Structure 1
Amino acid sequence: MLYAKKITHEVDQMHQHLQKHLSIEKRTIHLGVITGLGNLNIANIFTAFNSEHPSIKFAVTNELSKELCKLLYEGNLDLALFAAPYDIDSYNFEVHPLEKEEFVLITPTNHPFSQKETIKLSETANENFIFPTKNNVSYDIFFTECRKAGFTPKIVSECNGPGRRIDLVQAGLGIAFISLSGLQYYNNSASLPTVRLVDPFYKHIVLARTKQEKASMSLLMFWQYIQQWK
């Protein structure tokens, strides 16, 4: 009798574990992603992960990094892939670095800098700059680096799309910073002179989640899985 009760108890526990596992595996992961992920191909990651875990689905939100930080902090996302802002330590996030991507300078074809391979950022103090908008992490990065170089940048235009900034540079409006992957992605940039900085600065792509005592199995599985793509 006792043996039978033990078997029944073990079967019940197994059933509960299986039901819990199945409910976890069916969970949708809410993931925030920026457009410019460098060499990190999120589509390939999704495909590879789903080939092993086909019942786990993704709901993807595409926003700028600052907005993704806000959504993640407020609990509207499970995970986020973004360019780390300077104040990322003020958020209650667990962060895993994935990519470090260099920014370079692009100039019009007839610009004096176009003949140089490298340049000190301080040499650009009197130039007209095309920046992303202030709600873009890159704006903070560019502005801070210029101030560290001893000047306040003269910003003549702001737009977030790298392709549009490239167009404005080609038209001769000014010079701009752009990531190497952004430069390679837009084919119309092929004719633009590219100048590297003597003291380069970078965009740091990170994977982040809120610090929590308990997380779903599916979330933990993807958190661990994506880190192998570093």
Structure 2
Amino acid sequence: MELLQLEYFQTVARLQHMTKAAEELQIAQPSLSKTISRLEEDLGVPLFDRTGRQIRLNAYGEAFLARVQRAFVELNEGKREIRDLARLNEDIVTLAVSTPRILPGLLGAFLASHPDVRFRQFFESAPEMKRQIENGEVDFCISSAAIEGIDIEWRPLLTEEIFLIVPSNHPLAVRESIRLAEVKDEPFISMNAGYEFRELTDRLCREAGFVPHIHFAGDEPDVIAGLVQQGLGVAFVPALTWLEWPRRASHRLRIEEPACQRQLGIAWSERRYFSTAAERFRVFAFAYFRDVAKRLVREFG
């Protein structure tokens, strides 16, 4: 059994199509078919069910694919460890996040004391980050949704309050707090569907007994804040984002009911080999967010 056979098997299993797999691998289809057949002969069982030109991974193939994927993860981790021992990649940290607004402060603070470290960053959804962790593509994921799976460690970093902001001339601007149900008829300005924060705020509205009327949806918090300031609607804002905004022409309201908060956490694979830089970043991240939590307490009580 050769690594090339396993790589070809992974591709065929992913595409479930011999011709497409051959095109992606840039080899002739007969050669690919022979390679898969030899692999099946070595194992003593078929890995695919074949009906005419159609192929489908069978129970044997699914079980073997899971083992093959884990084997390649281990091989890649071994390569990373050797490269680190040879000092070829010790200054690179790969990071996926679902809340990119935390990056400037976090990375800026870390790089101030570790200027030689380089970061590769990805902005992804929680399911995609889980896949990246499982496949060994990233060192860490920071998300507001817990990432769970075999050999995945997820630990909380920070719990932050979520506020509602209204235009400064809004009738509610004379208040300090509200129940969320009080704004059920208001036009909402929100993040686009698919963002973790949008999913969270939609859930909070459902808990309060209503579905929000979304008058505008976007992916730029600063634009959302600007639209609120222009009197076009109300919006949710996390505590950290509120602190970062230089101008506050809108009014912040604490939400009494339901409890509105989100938890940021960091995830990694327990099978992952960490470079010196990655291990330092993990330690630093916990300390950084402890300081941020203290700052939030000072600001909001």
TM class by smaller structure? 0.7 to 0.9
AA of the residue aligned to 1:176 = A
In structure 2, the residue matched to 1:41 is 106
Query: Does 27-36 or 176-185 show the bigger shift?
Result: 27-36
Supply the distance in 2 between the matched residues of 1:126 and 1:40 (Cα, whole angstroms): 36
State the shift of 1:109 in Å: 2.0
Partner AA of 2:137 in structure 1: N
CA RMSD after TM alignment: 2.7
Pick which of 143-152 and 197-206 moved more. Answer: 197-206
Identity %: 22
Query: Which residue is 2:174 aligned to?
Result: 115
Cα deviation code 1:72-114 (max 9, x no counterpart): 34432111223x22x6336763112111111111111221211
Whether the 8 Å contact between 2:167 and 2:249 is mirrored in structure 1 is: no
Deviations 1:8-41 (A, max 9, x none): xxxxxxxxxxx88742684222122432229963
What is the CA–CA distance in structure 1 between the aligned matches of 2:83 and 2:131, rounded to whole Å?
31
Question: Is structure 2 residue 71 aligned with structure 1 residue 23?
Answer: no
Unpaired segments of 5 or more residues in structure 2? Answer: 1-81, 291-301
Q: 1:22 to 1:191 in 2, by over 3 A?
A: same
Q: Measure, in 2, the Cα distance between the counterparts of 1:144 and 1:128.
A: 17
Displacement, 1:138?
A: 0.4
2:190 is aligned to 131
TM-superposed deviation, 1:170: 1.5
Deviations 1:202-222 (CA, angstroms, capped at 9, x unpaired): 22221111232x523523443
- SS for the counterpart of 1:89 is coil
Equivalent residue for 2:71?
none
The answer on whether the counterparts of 1:24 and 1:217 sit within 8 Å (CA) in structure 2 is no
Describe the shift of the 1:181–1:96 C-alpha distance in structure 2 as closer, same or farther (beyond 3 A): same
Q: Give me the whole-angstrom Cα distance separating, in 2, the residues matched to 1:132 and 1:167.
A: 13
Match of 1:174 in 2: 233
Query: Matched residue pairs, number?
Result: 203
Cα distance, 1:167–1:68 mapped onto 2, change above 3 Å: farther
**Higher Cα Rg, which structure:** 2
Q: Which fold has the larger relative contact order, with Cα–Cα distance below 8 Å and residues 6 or more apart in sequence?
A: 1
Seen in structure 2, the aligned counterparts of structure 1 residues 209 and 135 have a Cα distance that, compared at 3 Å, is same
- What is the match of residue 61 of structure 1? 121
Give the CA deviation at 1:172. 1.8
* Equivalent residue letter for 1:187: P
Partners of 1:26 and 1:90 lie apart in 2 by: 27
Q: Post-superposition shift, 1:61?
A: 0.9
Confirm whether residue 192 of structure 1 aligns to residue 257 of structure 2. no
Q: TM-score, normalised by structure 2?
A: 0.59
Alignment correspondent of 1:216? 274
Change (3 A) 1:207 1:40: farther
Residue identity in the other structure for 1:191: A
**TM-score of the superposition, structure 1-length normalised?**
0.76
Aligned to 2:133: 72
Instruction: Answer 1 or 2: which has greater helix percent.
Output: 2
